[in-house]
A and B are shown apart, each in its own frame.
Chain A
Amino acid sequence: EAQVTQNPRYLITVTGKKLTVTCSQNMNHEYMSWYRQDPGLGLRQIYYSMNVEVTDKGDVPEGYKVSRKEKRNFPLILESPSPNQTSLYFCASSLRGARRNTEAFFGQGTRLTVV
């Protein structure tokens, strides 16, 4: 089954404690990205990757890191989480980003609370 898998689904952590949210896709997609969703602001892109070892900032990259060592995995790293990073996070993948009408598949989301 084609899917994007995020872990964990729910996480409560304390300020400053490093954490990683994993994302894995089994569709051999080149393009992967991370979004956060906040009430009234919609989905905003944090980072994206066009292929292995190619990553770039999205609209709200501050406080986040990513890596793309393998095509299937795109982890999101919060080195020192702060309460303003409390949000719902989605990982997404698709065929190479610039193609027209290419469907993006989303993971089930990670609800992160930083206290």
Chain B
Amino acid sequence: RKEVEQDPGPFNVPEGATVAFNCTYSNSASQSFFWYRQDCRKEPKLLMSVYSSGNEDGRFTAQLNRASQYISLLIRDSKLSDSATYLCVVRGVRNQGGKLIFGQGTELSVKP
């Protein structure tokens, strides 16, 4: 079983749509969670951290469910510029050197 699992998509949605991605992680001791965005084989960039209480940044909302070990990302009012691959990332526990463990990524394509 992969340590971080995501549906690879692609998700094809029209502009203005609301889209949600889920991700599951296997290590219940994981402490830090993130969503990164990657455009067309460029470097990943931090979209947002995910906090236990959930957090929002403009049109983006991230949620964490520790009991079920899943993380979600909700994008409201999708824009063409949201087209990218979204990477669910979990920071490894202390004996893993704090490394970042990446999901495979979910591809989003927003169409006019």
Contacts and interface: CB of A to CB of B under 8 A. Distances in A.
B4 to A, nearest CB: 8
Nearest to A54: B97
Q: What bracket does the count of chain B residues touching chain A fall in? A: 20 to 34
A45 B97 CA distance: 11
A43 B102 CA distance: 6
A34 B103 CA distance: 16
**Binding site secondary structure of chain B:** loop
A52 B110 CA distance: 44
Interface residues of A, number: 31
8 contacts: A40-B8, A50-B97, A56-B97, A58-B99, A99-B98, A101-B34, A101-B49, A106-B43
Interface of B: 8, 31-32, 34, 41-46, 49, 51, 87, 91, 94, 97-105
